[in-house]
Every structure is written in C-alpha cells, then in structure tokens.
Amino acid sequence: MAPLSISPDHPVVVLTGAGISKESGLSTFRDKDGIWSSVRIEDVATPEAFQRNPDAVHDFYNKRRRLLTEQHVEPNAAHYALVKLELAWPGGILVVTQNVDSLHEQAGSQNLIHMHGRHREARCNACDHVVAWKGDMSTEDVCEGCGERGGLRPNVVWFGETPMDMDLIEEALLGCGLFVSIGTSGNVYPAAGFVELVRKTHARAVELNLEPSQGAARFDITRYGPATEVVPAFVDDLIASLE
Ligand code: BJW
C-alpha cells in the first residue's frame, strides 16, 4: 500500500454502506438485484408514502426485519476487521453506518453512529418516543410513551428527512486524519458528500468498494473487491503502519 502518512494519534472515520453487509446475506439498494429493483422508493421510503399507505410501508419493513432473524444474518470479516482497527488504532475510530442492520454492533464496534437509523427500533410520530422492536409493526400498535395508536413507524431515515447525529458526524469528519468509505455507491446525500468535506482538511480519503462509486475520483486511495477481502487487508496494512 502507498504510505498513508497519517499520524496514529489522529482519529479515523469510517463510513459504511449496504455493500459491507452484502456478504452477510443482506441486499444492497442499487445493484442489479438490489432492493430498489423490486420496489419504488416513493412507495416505501418517504414520509409521504407512510402517510398515504402505512400498511404497505410496514409490510416492506416487516419483511426485511424478519429476514434478519430468519436468515440468521451474522457479521462478516469486514465488520470484524473494523473492530480490530478500533482496538488497535491509538487515535480511535468512529464508524458511521448508513445501514439499518445491527451487524457492526453484533461484531463488537463500540464507537458507532447509525445515521439512517435502525431496523429494530420503532419511533412514535406523535411524541418521538423510541423503543426497541424485534417483531412486526402495524397501525394497531400503541406507543408506550404517549399511548397513541397508529403512530409507530420504523426508526429509519427516509428521503427528505434529516439523518441522525449530523453535528457529531461533521465534527468527526473535520477532525479526522483518515476517512474510509466502504461499500456505498455514493448516490445518497449527505453521506455522498462526506469525502468532499474531508478534502477541505489535511485528512486522506480511502474508498473500499466492489467497484468505483460515483465519487471515486475524489479519493486519494481506492481498492476494489469484496468487502470481506479488501477491508481486512486494508486494516492489516493500517495496523502494520503503526510498527
Ligand atoms: C459491495 C459489495 C461487496 C456490493 N463488497 N461492496 C439532489 C441533489 C443532492 C441531494 C438531494 C437531491 N435531491 C434530494 C436530495 C437529498 C436526498 C438524496 O440524496 N437523494 C439522492 C437520491 C439524490 N437525501 C435525503 O433526503 C437525506 N436527507 C437529507 O439530505 O436531509 C437534509 C440534511 C442533510 C444534512 C444535514 C441536515 C439535513 C436522507 C436520505 C435517506 C436515505 N434512506 C435510505 C433508506 C433507509 C432505510 C431503509 O433501509 O429502508 O438509506 S435509502 C438507501 O440508500 C439507504 C442507504 O443507507 C442509502 C445508501 O445506499 P448505499 O448504502 O450506498 O447502498 P447502494 O446499494 O446504493 O450501494 C451499495 C454499494 O456496495 C455499491 O457501490 C456496490 O458496488 C457495493 N457492493 N457488494 C463491497 N460484497
């Protein structure tokens, strides 16, 4: 690997997308066989869709939530490699995931932000109360915070909504020494713009993906291949640079 010349005392920020969970058996969104090839975004992933037809939106998310348990989806070597980096990197790492699965925390990542929310949480439209949710969700469910029926929705971020913890993420991006983007197509903002923000600083930017993303030209270093191969290899190189 070309020398990264980053100080070990500087934090690393890692952005992950659906590609990191693909080899665990979860679908991506925009690949040929991805989620958006069989369902329209406008029908399931906007607040307007939920207002128009909450049953259809619940059905879409219930099916995906069920898969997580029925398929025994487990973290893969890429998720574990990021835990290894977190334990080894003196400056610390923050994983910012766009994924709503819980594979990073199952692998053991500690410093983690779910910017697009979590599959296994429900949020009340009436009072914003958030609660862990493992089974199906429906318009019959009652919020345990305010007692309202019909307002519970998956605690995920739909198009047109503000992603979570943006202040923390921007602060981390502006203070990091290295930004690593893994398994994301670079189609969805604000995540797709993180590399541009980092380029305003002295930090280096690395893309690890199956193929070049939309923003590939903005990265200093790129490596392409399945996440279970390129992520552990990159992490090993990074840790070796400490010696
Ligand atoms: C592998 C692999 C393997 C495969 N190994 N790799 C016009 C211009 C600019 C912006 C906008 C615009 N119009 C509207 C907007 C904003 C809009 C947006 O970006 N739209 C675009 C479509 C243009 N964004 C928003 O509305 C966001 N909110 C917002 O901007 O608020 C304003 C604001 C910003 C900042 C501060 C304050 C306020 C919200 C976006 C919400 C996205 N939600 C979803 C659904 C979440 C819930 C759910 O799961 O159902 O999030 S959509 C979906 O896309 C999901 C993902 O997190 C997200 C990104 O997808 P990802 O992860 O990149 O997946 P793919 O499939 O696209 O790519 C997979 C990649 O993996 C590919 O590259 C493969 O090659 C690779 N791969 N196998 C390694 N084995």
- Specify burial of residue 172 (Cβ count, 10 A radius: 0-12, 13-18, 19+): buried
243 pLDDT above the threshold of 90: no
At 189-231, the pLDDT tens digits run 999 999 999 999 999 999 999 999 999 999 999 999 999 999 9
Query: For residue 187, how far is its CA from the centre of ligand 1 (angstroms)?
Result: 5
Q: How many Å apart are CA 154 and CA 138, to the nearest integer? A: 10
Q: Mapped to the 3 state alphabet, what secondary structure does the chain carry?
A: CCCCCCCCCCCEEEEECHHHCHHHCCCCCCCCCCHHHCCCHHHHCCHHHHHHCHHHHHHHHHHHHHHHHHCCCCCCHHHHHHHHHHHHCCCCEEEEECCCCCHHHHHCCCCEEECCEEEEEEEECCCCCEEECCCCCCCCCECCCCCCECCEEEEECCCCCCCCCHHHHHHHHHHCCEEEEECCCCCCCCHHHHHHHHCCCCCEEEEEECCCCCCHHHCCEEEECCHHHHHHHHHHHHHHCCC
56 pLDDT above the threshold of 70: yes
Atom of ligand 1 at shortest distance to CA of 16? 62
139 pLDDT above the threshold of 60: yes
Q: How many Å apart are CA 189 and CA 57, to the nearest integer? A: 22
The confidence score (pLDDT) of residue 4 equals: 66
Mean pLDDT for 146-169 is 97
72 pLDDT above the threshold of 90: no
The confidence score (pLDDT) of residue 212 equals: 98
Greatest alpha-carbon span in the chain: 58
Out of 24, 62, 189, 231, mutate this one to test ligand 1's pocket (max ligand atoms within 8 Å of CB): namely 189
Atom of ligand 1 at shortest distance to CA of 100? 49
Would you say the CB of residue 165 lies under 6 angstroms from ligand 1? no
Confidence of residue 70 (pLDDT cuts 50, 70, 90): confident
Stronger pLDDT, 72 or 94, i.e. the higher one: 94
Would you say the CB of residue 116 lies under 6 angstroms from ligand 1? yes
- In the DSSP assignment, the letter for residue 214 is T
Confidence of residue 1 (pLDDT cuts 50, 70, 90): low
15 pLDDT above the threshold of 70: yes
Q: How many Å apart are CA 192 and CA 115, to the nearest integer? A: 13
At 22-44, the pLDDT tens digits run 999 999 999 999 999 999 999 99
Instruction: Give percent of the chain with pLDDT exceeding 90.
Output: 93
Confidence of residue 3 (pLDDT cuts 50, 70, 90): low
At 164-198, the pLDDT tens digits run 999 999 999 999 999 999 999 999 999 999 999 99
The confidence score (pLDDT) of residue 68 equals: 84
Would you say the CB of residue 131 lies under 6 angstroms from ligand 1? no
Mean pLDDT for 142-161 is 97
The confidence score (pLDDT) of residue 69 equals: 81
At 75-117, the pLDDT tens digits run 999 999 999 999 999 999 999 999 999 999 999 999 999 999 9
The confidence score (pLDDT) of residue 2 equals: 54
Would you say the CB of residue 224 lies under 6 angstroms from ligand 1? no
